[in-house]
Structure 1
């Protein structure tokens, strides 16, 4: 569980985050949504410990990053998996090499143990035959799956994803969404996803935080979105005709 209490963050006198409080539950897919400039990326970096809030606190199962010793901070970082927006794979490494990289950096496992672990997570993301390929030799969707495999190879307690569907076609995006959701449930991870993809919200949004101008404007589930009267949320979510029709269908079914 990640508990956020009244955090503020500013840069060069400009307030980016303005008193955000929330809880991200273990074993759920928690989504952060909002327009560009709403503070999503800064918020995610605060959760990761890359930025320290100016005020307030973020605790990961009771651990507050700035209060930990360097050794404890290192241990907490090893409990975090990250899927970057552009996958961030090393072009010069094979798929297997990319997935094994965190093990080589942070563990004392033998080569055979690391290969066994890499093999396990690659099979879990349905890439059992891609070990010796390079990122340039596989599709964008496969690269995302490699990034997910690398993020979970250390068996993390927390999984952070920054726009995991960026650049993917709708069909592949659904595959990635479902894979992240399955892994969250299977390993009982606290997963936080920064996204602008409303299909992801409707597909796996067990908890959704909507940010606007650095403020938590709304939170709820994907079902709650259909019922909210919050104008900022509805303007953001139903900016497309498709979602307007979906909401109308939902309302008609309930009446």
Structure 2
């Protein structure tokens, strides 16, 4: 679990996060949604420690990042997996080398043990026999699955995903969503996904945090999102491509 208490973050005179308090639950896919400029990316960077809030506290389980010494922060970094928006694979490394990278960085395992773990996670994301290929030799969807394998190779307690469906076709995007959720449940991970994609919200939104202009506007799950009369939720849903498609189908049926 990750608990956020009254977090404020500014850049110069501009306040981006304005007193956000929320909880991201263990064993669930927690989504941060909102329009561009709502503070989603800044919130994510505060959660993973890239930005330090001027006010407020962020707790990983029962310890605030602000209270951790250097060794505790290093240990926390080892427990975090990160899925970047563009995949962020190293072009000059093979798939095997890319996935092994966190193990080389954070562990002192023998090469054989690292390779066994690499093969295990590649199999989990349905990518076998691609070890010696380079990222440019596989599709965008396969690259994203490699990125997921790399993010979980160190058996993280916390998984962060920044726009994981960016650039993917709808079918592949759904497969990636479902894979992230399955891995979250299987390993009881606290997963936080930043997205603007309503398809993802409806697929895997077990705990949804809606930000608007740096404030928490609403929190609920995918079952609640079409039932609430919260104006900010309604505006976000109605502006989505998914809703427009659903509404067009309804109009044709009428």
Q: Which residue of the partner structure matches residue 225 of structure 2?
A: 225
Q: How many residue pairs get matched?
A: 250
Q: Which residue of the partner structure matches residue 118 of structure 1?
A: 118
| Ranges of 4+ aligned residues in structure 1 off by more than 4 Å | 244-250
TM-score by length of 2: 0.95
Q: Which residue of the partner structure matches residue 101 of structure 2?
A: 101
Distance in 2 (CA, whole Å) between partners of 1:249 and 1:230 is 24
Q: Which residue of the partner structure matches residue 194 of structure 1?
A: 194
Q: Which residue of the partner structure matches residue 253 of structure 1?
A: none
Does residue 83 in structure 1 map to residue 83 in structure 2? yes
Which runs of structure 2 are paired with 1:44-83 in the superposition (5 Å)? Answer: 44-83=44-83
- Relative to 1, partners in 2 of residues 1:33 and 1:240: Cα closer, same or farther, differing over 3 Å? closer
Does residue 171 in structure 1 map to residue 171 in structure 2? yes
1:194-240 CA-to-partner distances (Å, cap 9, x unmatched) read: 00111000000001111000000011011111111111211111214
1:144-200 CA-to-partner distances (Å, cap 9, x unmatched) read: 000000000000000000000000000000000000000000000000000011100
Does residue 134 in structure 1 map to residue 134 in structure 2? yes
Q: Which residue of the partner structure matches residue 12 of structure 1?
A: 12
**C-alpha deviation, 1:245, in angstroms:** 7.0
3-state DSSP of counterpart to 1:223:
coil
C-alpha contact 2:57 2:66 (8 A) present in aligned 1: no
Gap regions ≥5 residues in structure 2: none
C-alpha contact 2:160 2:191 (8 A) present in aligned 1: yes
C-alpha contact 1:226 1:247 (8 A) present in aligned 2: no
Distance in 1 (CA, whole Å) between partners of 2:242 and 2:104 is 46
Which runs of structure 2 are paired with 1:36-51 in the superposition (5 Å)? Answer: 36-51=36-51
Distance in 1 (CA, whole Å) between partners of 2:156 and 2:171 is 27
**C-alpha deviation, 1:66, in angstroms:** 2.3
3-state DSSP of counterpart to 2:18:
strand
Distance in 2 (CA, whole Å) between partners of 1:237 and 1:8 is 26
1:35-80 CA-to-partner distances (Å, cap 9, x unmatched) read: 1110000000011011111111000111211211111100001100
Distance in 2 (CA, whole Å) between partners of 1:191 and 1:247 is 31
> Please, what is the CA RMSD of the aligned residues?
1.6
Q: Which residue of the partner structure matches residue 145 of structure 2?
A: 145
Q: Which residue of the partner structure matches residue 35 of structure 1?
A: 35
3-state DSSP of counterpart to 1:142:
helix
1:113-134 CA-to-partner distances (Å, cap 9, x unmatched) read: 1000000000000001211110
C-alpha contact 2:58 2:66 (8 A) present in aligned 1: no
More displaced 10-residue stretch of structure 1: 173-182 or 60-69: 60-69
3-state DSSP of counterpart to 1:222:
coil
**C-alpha deviation, 1:91, in angstroms:** 0.2
Gap regions ≥5 residues in structure 1: 251-255
